[in-house]
Structure formats: C-alpha cells, structure tokens
A and B are shown apart, each in its own frame.
Chain A
Amino acid sequence: MATKDLPEEVEFLLSAYADGECDADESARARTLLAEDPVGGEYLSRAQTDRDAYVRAVVNEVEGIDVSAGVMSAVREHAARSERHRREIRWRRVTAPLAAAALLTLIAAILFPVFGKSREKARQTSCLSNVPQIMTGMLAYADDYDGCLPDARDWQRRVQPYLKNEQILECPSGDPKMGRSYAMNRQWSGAKLGSIPDKGTAVIIYEADDTGAPALRHNGGMNVGFADGHAKMVREVPPGLVPSTSMKPPSGGYGLAEELKLSYEAQSEVWVASVHEAVLGAEQAVQDEGGFVLASRLQATADPPKGEVVCRVPRERVGDAVNALGALGWVATREIAGEDLTARYLTAQRTLSTDQAREERLRESAKATKRPEQASADRVKADEARKAQDNTRGELFNIASATELATVSARFLQRSEAPLPKGLSGTWAGAASAAGSSLGWLLQVCVWLLFFAWLWAPPLAIAWLVRRRCRTRRSG
C-alpha cells in the first residue's frame, strides 16, 4: 500500500491533520508535505473514505431502532418519584420541628407541675421545721412573762430575742419582699397559756398573706403551730382562728413596685396602683380628721383589686371623715356606738412614744456612764419604762378591739385610670403606665414570642444541622 511508504512521523502528522487537530505550524508542515508528495494526498483521501465507510457501517446497523419510548417511560416514572420525594422531604421539614415542639411542650406540660409540686413539697417541709422553733420561742417568752403569750400585733419583735433568727420567720414559699410569713391567732393574743383549754388543738401561729389572712400556700395547705409547741400542716383554715390584722407591709407601704408580677394585665397594674394610691390617700384623710387607721388592706390579687380601710375617728368628726373618704372615691360605712375612745387611744399612743424614747435614752445613758450605781439605776428605770410600754400597748389593743367606738369602714372598688404613684418607675408597672396599655400589651406579646422562640429553638437548630449535614454529604 502506498501509505506504508510514509514514515511514521509523517503518518502521525497527516492523521492529526485529517482529524483537524493540528496547530498552525503543523498544518503548514502538512500542507507542504501534501504539495511535495502525492502519497500524502492519497493517505488523506483514504482516511476520509475509511471514515465514511466506518460511520455508514456502524450507524446503518442501528437504523430504525428507537429506544426513546422505554427511556422516557423510565424517566417520567423517575420524575414523578422525585417529585413525590421532594414533596415528602418538604413536608418532613415542616412537620419534624412541629412534632418536636409539640413533644417538648407535652413533656414540659407533664414535668413542670411535677417539678413544681416536688419543689413545693420541699419548701413545705422546710416551713414545717420553722413553726415548732417559733413556737418554742413563744413558749419561752410566756415563761418569762407570767405565762402570757405576746401581743398578736408585735409578737415577732417580742419573740425575736428568744429566736435570734430573722430568717426563721420567712416561709420559703412566702413572698420574700414581705419578710414575714407567719401571723399569730388574735384569739390568743396576750392570753395566759394556762387559760387555753386544749393546747393540742389551739392554733397560735399560722401562715398568713400580706393582709394577715390565712394563706394555703403549700399545694393547698398551710403549716400551723399549736399551743403545746407542735406543728403540722392543715388543708383547711382551723375553726376559731381569728386572723391577725397586724401584718404590716414592709417599709414603703405595700411594696407594690416589688410585688407586681408580669402576669398581671397591664391595665390591672394601673388599677392596683390606683388602689394603692387611694389607700394612702384614705389614711391621710383619716389622720386629717383626727382619727387613726386600725387596718388598711390592699388585695392586689382580687379582680378588680380591692382596698379596705378600717379606721376610728372622733364621734363628732365621723360625718366629715365619711365625706372626705367619699370625695376620694371610697364607699364608707359608719358605726357609732358607746363611748368615744378615740381621744384615749391617741393619748395612749403618745404615751407609748414617750416611754419608748425614755427607755432608749436611759439604756444609752446606762451604757455611757462610768458609775456602776448610776448605770444600774438607769437600767432599772429603763425596765420600768419597758413595762409601762407593755401596759400601754395592752391598753391600745383593748381600745382598738373595743366595739363601743365610732368606726368608719371604707371600701374602695372604683376603677380609676389615675396615674401611678411615685416609686413605681423602673418596674413593669411603671413601664406600662409610662407608655400606655398598648405598650404593655406589646411587651406581653414580646414575652410570649420570646417564650415560643425558646421552645422552637432546639428543634429548629437540630433541623438546620441535619439539613446542613445532608447538604455537605451531597456536595461531598
């Protein structure tokens, strides 16, 4: 064959030239070769002929065969399956976090009350250990005071030297801002222990709220201390328990700023604040009329919040006091009977203040003096002043407890949009008042959103991580 005469290098060049795969230099060389040697031309011609024959032979063999039907059938099936798969994945992406969130909610709903009850049980136990200790202090006090129990109004101060522990007067479940969680049964205020018929059932100490009312704060029960010194938890308020009225609010009034909880509606907070202000105003009005306040209560948790003031004013000023309270929005009722002891009460109060100041002065003098005789004399006088105070307190209690008095009881139920009193700024209530109830509502929405975000964060994070991992795997 003619091409056999071509050197191999030339054959490579012409083969590439025939395939159009030569660069400019090689093409120029190939063209020169073709011009000089006719064998090269024959090679190219033969290459083209062979190529045509090859293609014809190969393609003719499959002429008329159609595989597209089978392919397209499989392709359509695969496409439908892929679409279903995509939809399924999309559905899973939506439902998986939802299911996880629902599961979390369910678990939380089941576990939170359980945890709450367990926690409350532990607190109840701790509280139950406080009451016998308080009762021990009470009985020790009675031993030192001719078997008399302390006055219900200031029993905590009197018993404190025997307890030497302020913490013990606070129940773990009580309001920490209130400071005092226990109250004394007024029935046995100042009573002689010997006069109590059945010490095993006579309740001396009970758990109270800020108004002095019994507080069933331990899963519907409360701890009480009996006259024989033992304590137990009861589910119902014991019969014959006379609630104390001397649960004094902490300094600064009712501690409204601290006590407000977020769960209150913003509008309710405004009402609570209004009632608080009304209580303060009523107290001032009573004092202006020459009277004194026996008890003032603010029931912040009631709906609507309620205020109640029980006061005594001189008989001739009762009408003015009722009018003054009415002007402040109070609905007052009056009771006038028997002797007017208001002046006596006020005199006793002044005497008490004088005795307290005198005792304080004498004790300081006893400490300061260098003469032992003088110090001893001062201490004796101070003790006398203390005894005088106790007597005066007893008198005050008797006057206050007497029914033959001009009494004005007033209830404040009026809802008002009055501005919040000072001192609430910086609290939720202050914020709600400052920007109006709409902002308070917005605040609550934000809190709920945050809560749901917290709830959804773990499942969403897991879903995101899984998705990311899948993508990484796919791209890998």
Chain B
Amino acid sequence: MGAGTALASSDPELVRRARAGDTAAFGELVARYQRSALATARHLVGDIEAAKDATQEAFIEAYRNLSSLDDPRRFSQWLYGILRNRCRRYLRGRRPPPAEVDVDRIPDPASTPVADSGPSPIDLLDRLPSATRELLTARYVHDMSYAEMARAFGTTVGTVRVKCCHARRELREAFAAAEGGAT
C-alpha cells in the first residue's frame, strides 16, 4: 500500500515541494497515505472517530515537522512513527484504559452462544494484543521491513523477526478460532 502510480511524483519529490511551501504537494502525500494511516489508526485505537482524529493530527504534525525529516524516501515510515505515537497518546488519555484482550482468554466459542453471522473480522483482530496489532499494521499495512520496524520500535531485527513469527501465529489462531466458531 502507499506506492504511487508510475506517473505520480515520488515521495521525496513531494516532500521537497511541500517543504518549499507547496501545500498541494502535501495534499498528494495525504491522498496517498491516508487510507493506510486510517486503517492503522483504526486498528490501533479501535474507534473509527478517534482514528480519524489521530490520523488528521498525525498528518498536521508531519507537515509542521517536515523540515526535520532526514530522509524523504522514508516518509511512509516516518509518518507511521508519528501516527503510532498519536494513537498511544490517545490510548493513554482514554479513561478507563482499554483492557487488552488476550487471545488465550477468549471464551470458548462452543460454550458461548454466538449469533449466526459471528463476529466481524475486525472485531476479532481488535482482540489481539496492542503490541501484536502494531507489528501487524507496520508489516502488512505499511510494508515496513524488519530493519525499519526495529528502528521504529527501538529494538533489534532479531527480536522483530521472532515477534513477527509470534504475531503471525496469533493472527492464524484468531482466524482459526473465528472459522471454528462459524462452523
């Protein structure tokens, strides 16, 4: 996601123009990344309205601090970092803090009366731990490499590699549980 068409200007070019005061160039960047940013925010905060606010604030903050972006080619990753911090701030400020749902503690679908349609996929995913959600959005929504994720999360590539494997496993189990519940 986030890759522009062949004819569209590249991220560094748009960043350069935006730095020079061209707001339209920044508008192109917003159009290019707002979907992935919204999806990430929605998944991290679990609330679409809060996600909209967080995304808007993240873009505005990015615009204000555009001059501090060292490598314009990494705009996407840099934006993800800002967005993640915004979402964290939102979650911290929310009272009471959202209880993280452990997949292991999800009640057995067999013993729970379930509606015919079952929970939506996003509801299932919202039950994943926040760390897992952050990893999955960085990897799958923002196409970040292990090295970029390690830099963003302040850890090592090896740790990211292991955590990604665990996250994948949790995702698989969540989907499997949903399939089991549906059947």
Contact = CB atoms under 8 A, between A and B. Distances in A.
A74 B62 CA distance: 12
A54 B56 contact: no
12 contacts: A11-B165, A53-B175, A57-B120, A58-B140, A62-B39, A62-B42, A65-B48, A67-B52, A67-B56, A72-B26, A72-B27, A75-B63
How big is chain A's contact interface, by range? 35 or more
Interface in B73-113: none
Contacts, number: 114
Given A58-B141, A67-B34, A71-B59, A12 B27 contact: no
B51 A16 contact: no
A93 interface: no
A401 B172 CA distance: 133
A54 B162 CA distance: 19
Contact of A57 (B27, B122, B172): B122
Interface string A34-66: 000000000000110011011111111110011
Contacts of A12: 161-162, 165
Nearest to B55: A67
A66 B125 CA distance: 23
B161 A15 contact: yes
B69 interface: no
B44 to A, nearest CB: 10
Contacts of B36: 59
Interface residues of B, number: 46
Contacts of A83: 21
B42 A58 contact: yes
A166 to B, nearest CB: 74
A11 B122 CA distance: 26
A135 B99 CA distance: 109
Contacts of A21: 145-146, 161
Contacts of B21: 79, 83
Nearest to B165: A15
Contacts of B121: 53, 56-57
A71 B38 CA distance: 13
B39 A72 contact: no
Contacts of B56: 67, 70-71, 74
